[in-house]
Amino acid sequence: MKFRQFIFIVILLVLGLTAYRFMQKKANPITATQTGWWQIQSIDTMKYSRDMAQVGLEDPKFDTTIDQQLKAIAMTGANYVAVGTPYDEKFIPMLTRWVTIARKYNLHVWFRGNFAGWEGWFDMPKISREQHLAMLTEFLARHGDLFENGDLFTPCPECENGGPGDPRQTGDIEGYRLFLTTEYRMSEDSFKQMGKDIKIYDSMNYDVASQVMDPRTTQALGGVVTIDHYVASPDQLVHDVRAIADASGGRVFLGEIGAPIPDINGDMSDAQQAEWLRSALSKLSSMPQVIGINYWVNVGGSTAIWDDQVNPKPAVLAITTFFSPEIITGSVKDQYNNLIANAKVRTMEKAVYTDTSGNFSIPALPTDTLLYISADKYVDKSIKIYDNTKNMDIVIERPTQSSVQSFLDYLRGLLSR
């Protein structure tokens, strides 16, 4: 082969590889990296944000209580706080106080209140479905300023507890479904008109969800089943999450979990509570069906993880381990310095994929010792995880290949540099 022909072929190869790399970046979407275990990591404040809403209205010093609680929640690594303050106009000043202080600590808000008349809170007169829908329309129209992009909203949490009653007893499954989907669409339209990105979740008791959340209803409610569920053991929790995900065809947001509930768990010491929570979160962390966790409750009640003076119990450390995991970052490339997109990087509990630049981030537990890397047409690899591991440059190799393929990989490596 003449020298000119050789140079011409090399130039064509370089141009072809450049086009190939461009098309590859266009074709491969940026895959999700992971900076926490779940998209939603939340702690509930119902015992104070809802149950004490009326008392707090008359107490300007109540802001100190709110501040102490939300500061403690933020320190766990939670990215959401669930606020149960009613949506009635008289409670808007209290709801505003919770939201304002949550923003101070960079917490998104899961608006998990309701109109007090739905269940008769604070001796308010009961309201119907039609009244609820009209009041919801007015609330969102008047108070859109409370919401920020990324917040969560529930129009009617555990809706079976009020209005016409539990569909398991009334037999009105279709009416219940229709009410939830109507309010979902109305809320969705309201947030679109505001120009705000707010996710809507309809939480309900697990037994209700088992009857109501068929695939059609799940799709109509955004493809997510939000369940409030208390069980004796973490194994039972895992079993039930898998069952509801399979039956509904949706992913699962655990809207309430916690222990101990005396009638279910019996008595627990603080150490036993922490171990129950640690075990539950560990098992849930490896379930791709689960998009989020809301621990119920922060202060007050048998499941509280802080005492009334906001002193942490051992369970706080258990939840912080998962809400604020060590984050391992790095890149995956081949022996010729070509960055590899869509390579799978995983621990025993979590898996992510590299983005189009070959980069990844993944959370790891203290018990994780190995990182496993795999990619199509490359040899699988495992490497040890060391303390405070950051910016790992991981090299994986193709199996035995032809000299031509090696040369092409080498040229791609040159281009990448």
pLDDT at residue 132 is higher than 80: yes
Neighbour order of strands in the sheet with 344-346: 351-353, 344-346, 370-374, 381-384
Closest CA relative to residue 297, chosen from 254, 324, 259: 259
Domain boundary among 292, 323, 354: 323
Q: What is the pLDDT of residues 7-45, one digit of tens each?
A: 544 454 444 444 444 334 333 333 444 567 899 999 999
**Confidence at 390, pLDDT banded by 50, 70, 90:** confident
**Confidence at 330, pLDDT banded by 50, 70, 90:** very high
Domain boundary among 323, 357, 374: 323
298, 304 Cβ separation under 8 angstroms: yes
**Confidence at 63, pLDDT banded by 50, 70, 90:** very high
Q: What is the 3-state secondary structure (H, E, C) of the chain?
A: CCHHHHHHHHHHHHHHHHHHHHHHHHHCCCCCCCCCCCCEEEEECHHHHCCCHHHHHCCCCHHHHHHHHHHHHHHCCCCEEEECCCCCHHHHHHHHHHHHHHHHCCCEEEECCCCHHHHCHHHCCCCCHHHHHHHHHHHHHHCHHHCCCCCEECCCCCHHHCCCCCHHHHCCHHHHHHHHHHHHHHHHHHHHHHCCCCEECCEEEHHHHHHHCCHHHHHHCCCEEEEECCCCCHHHHHHHHHHHHHHHCCEEEEEEECCCCHHHHCCCCHHHHHHHHHHHHHHHHCCCCEEEEEECCCECCCCCCECCCCCECHHHHHHHHHHCCEEEEEEEECCCCCECCCCEEECCCCEEECCCCCEEEEEECCCCCEEEEECCCCCCEEEECCCCCCCEEEECCCCCCCHHHHHHHHHHHHHHC
**If you search the block for the tokens 């979407």, which residue do you land on?**
29
Q: Which domain holds residue 346?
A: 3-33+326-416
* Domain co-membership, 120 together with 253: yes
385, 368 Cβ separation under 8 angstroms: yes
pLDDT score at 367: 85
What domain count does the chain have? 2
Q: What is the pTM of this model?
A: 0.86
pLDDT score at 128: 97
206, 225 Cβ separation under 8 angstroms: no
* Domain co-membership, 284 together with 330: no
**Residue type (1 letter), 144:** G
pLDDT score at 391: 82
Domain boundary among 323, 357, 372: 323
**Confidence at 308, pLDDT banded by 50, 70, 90:** very high
pLDDT score at 98: 98
pLDDT score at 284: 96
pLDDT score at 404: 55
Q: What is the pLDDT of residues 145-174, one digit of tens each?
A: 999 999 999 999 999 999 999 999 999 999
Over range 235-257, report the average pLDDT.
98
From CA 387, how far away is CA 328, in angstroms rounded? 10
**If you search the block for the tokens 């199509």, which residue do you land on?**
376
216, 249 Cβ separation under 8 angstroms: no
pLDDT score at 39: 95
* Domain co-membership, 214 together with 276: yes
Over range 47-73, report the average pLDDT.
97
* Domain co-membership, 155 together with 290: yes
* Domain co-membership, 228 together with 374: no
* Domain co-membership, 246 together with 343: no
**Confidence at 355, pLDDT banded by 50, 70, 90:** very high
Neighbour order of strands in the sheet with 392-395: 359-364, 326-333, 392-395
* Domain co-membership, 99 together with 169: yes
* Domain co-membership, 314 together with 367: no
| Helix-helix angle 270-285:314-323, to 10 degrees | 20
* Domain co-membership, 220 together with 168: yes
pLDDT at residue 415 is higher than 70: no
Query: Can you give the CATH number for the domain in which 238 is found?
Result: 3.20.20.80
pLDDT score at 31: 40
* Domain co-membership, 330 together with 310: no
pLDDT score at 48: 98
294 DSSP β-pair partners: 42
* Domain co-membership, 319 together with 183: yes
Q: What is the pLDDT of residues 247-287, one digit of tens each?
A: 999 999 999 999 999 999 999 999 999 999 999 999 999 89
332, 396 Cβ separation under 8 angstroms: yes
From CA 321, how far away is CA 331, in angstroms rounded? 25
From CA 210, how far away is CA 212, in angstroms rounded? 6
